[in-house]
A and B are shown apart, each in its own frame.
Chain A
């Protein structure tokens, strides 16, 4: 069956979620993956968006983090201070799903600037919820398209803490949560080395070569001893994802496909 590398990425990210998870969802790729999980193998998953919507079940993917669809299909909608105080800081969330403009080998993320902070080459949107999602959720999954510009040796700016600049800073800073345990890209799946916290490739998507992954990574990427091949998307997964994207495009009157 034909599928795109974006579809493979979204499906692989969705598979990491279970019906037991309470998931803090960002817009874009994370939102597509989380809702695909809910519509396929993880119907019990509880999705939370930073606009205050708890246990929301959107029929179409929201364009913004505060779309009416999220509120109308939620169990309840709380205020934004309550969301960050009780639900995120209160450590009620099992998984936070993040992306960014840059990630490094220890899963630290930049969504603030490219270049110098005071005179940036590119001014990005900034943290939003990410800085405290990165430390407040029990664990973090990262989903990003892989290229040497996004998977970098050194971040321009550390917006959201992964395992820290040397992979060891979380504990020193008194952060009790696990941090990033999974990176899903359009080429492969990475997990941190249990000793060093450096992300290494543990599964390669069908048809992708090691050479492509090496070229698409800005640091000398390592491969685990046993590297799996990611199972391709099933017919059921693809149908659910394409239906979701088609409903979304129709609802927004735009090309709603994000994954």
Chain B
């Protein structure tokens, strides 16, 4: 049952060194504040799972939180490279990073399989791609009915799933709106779940009959963190800070500039 607590308490209770952790949000609702709290608490040896590592995992990788990354598209959207990710993969800084690389379709199916309690996902994928040669978690099986060769990948079942959402009600149910990505799947697939929200409301707006609502009993902790998705965005609350995504290219290119930015903007901030 979801319990309201501070972000600091939530991360302390739910995330342990060595855990597999998925902070999801497809461009939208990326849980930056939660990622920054993981950096501040000095958690290491994490297996970080995310379709698009984005700036948040670039920052966590650059701070040495990760031993492994599971991902499907590792760029700075519309800008270029993730320099901290590249530095870790190409030069092992600040630590070597093991990667498990997929396609978006594979990860989307794998999260859905995790939510459904299935051991693996089966789908029409990876045909002719070299990804199957470099990732032993990509295999092929024959459909027992048609004989068609289908791709199989293990279900994603993170130790901890973390998402950001717009609203929680007083009971601790959560409403997600806009580009909903894999928010519902990661919550239902994870063993422990933290949701950060923009605000708490008495009741959800009317007309939300078919909305994405995560019942309180699927969530362990809720932390109210207004602006917790910045510099990504929260539909109905604030816009994506595109200028920061562009600026990150120069900040992250150099190790010292990166460290200074983290010192000032992550270590220098009081946790929510």
Instruction: Report the Cα distance A67→B183, complex, angstroms.
Output: 16
> A51 near B129 (CB under 8 angstroms)?
no
Interface size class of A (residues with CB under 8 A): 35 or more
Beta-carbon nearest neighbor of B132 in chain A: A131
> A52 near B180 (CB under 8 angstroms)?
yes
Beta-carbon nearest neighbor of A67 in chain B: B240
Nearest-neighbour CB distance to chain A for B216, whole angstroms, equals 21
In terms of DSSP, what is the predominant structure of the interface of chain A? Answer: loop
Beta-carbon nearest neighbor of B73 in chain A: A128
Q: Cβ of A27 < 8 Å from any Cβ of B?
A: yes
Contact pattern, B 235-253, Cβ under 8 Å of A = 1, otherwise 0: 1000110110110000000
Beta-carbon nearest neighbor of B104 in chain A: A129
Contact pattern, B 87-118, Cβ under 8 Å of A = 1, otherwise 0: 00110000000000111111011011000000
Instruction: Report the Cα distance A163→B180, complex, angstroms.
Output: 34
> A126 near B124 (CB under 8 angstroms)?
no
Contact pattern, A 87-100, Cβ under 8 Å of B = 1, otherwise 0: 01100000000000
Contacts of A77 in B (CB 8 A): 178-180
Q: Cβ of A246 < 8 Å from any Cβ of B?
A: no
Instruction: Report which A residues bind B (CB closer than 8 A).
Output: 27-28, 50-53, 62-68, 70-71, 77, 79-81, 83-85, 88-89, 108, 112, 117, 119-120, 123-132, 135-136, 157-161, 164, 169-170, 173-175, 252-254
Instruction: Report the Cα distance A70→B77, complex, angstroms.
Output: 15
Beta-carbon nearest neighbor of A91 in chain B: B124
Choose, from B78-86, B159-167, B255-263, the stretch at the interface. B78-86
Q: Cβ of B75 < 8 Å from any Cβ of A?
A: yes
Q: Cβ of B267 < 8 Å from any Cβ of A?
A: no
> A65 near B124 (CB under 8 angstroms)?
no
Instruction: Report the Cα distance A132→B109, complex, angstroms.
Output: 12
> B242 near A128 (CB under 8 angstroms)?
no
Instruction: Report the Cα distance A141→B220, complex, angstroms.
Output: 46
Report if A159-B109 is in contact (Cβ < 8 Å); known contacts: A52-B181, A125-B74.
Answer: no
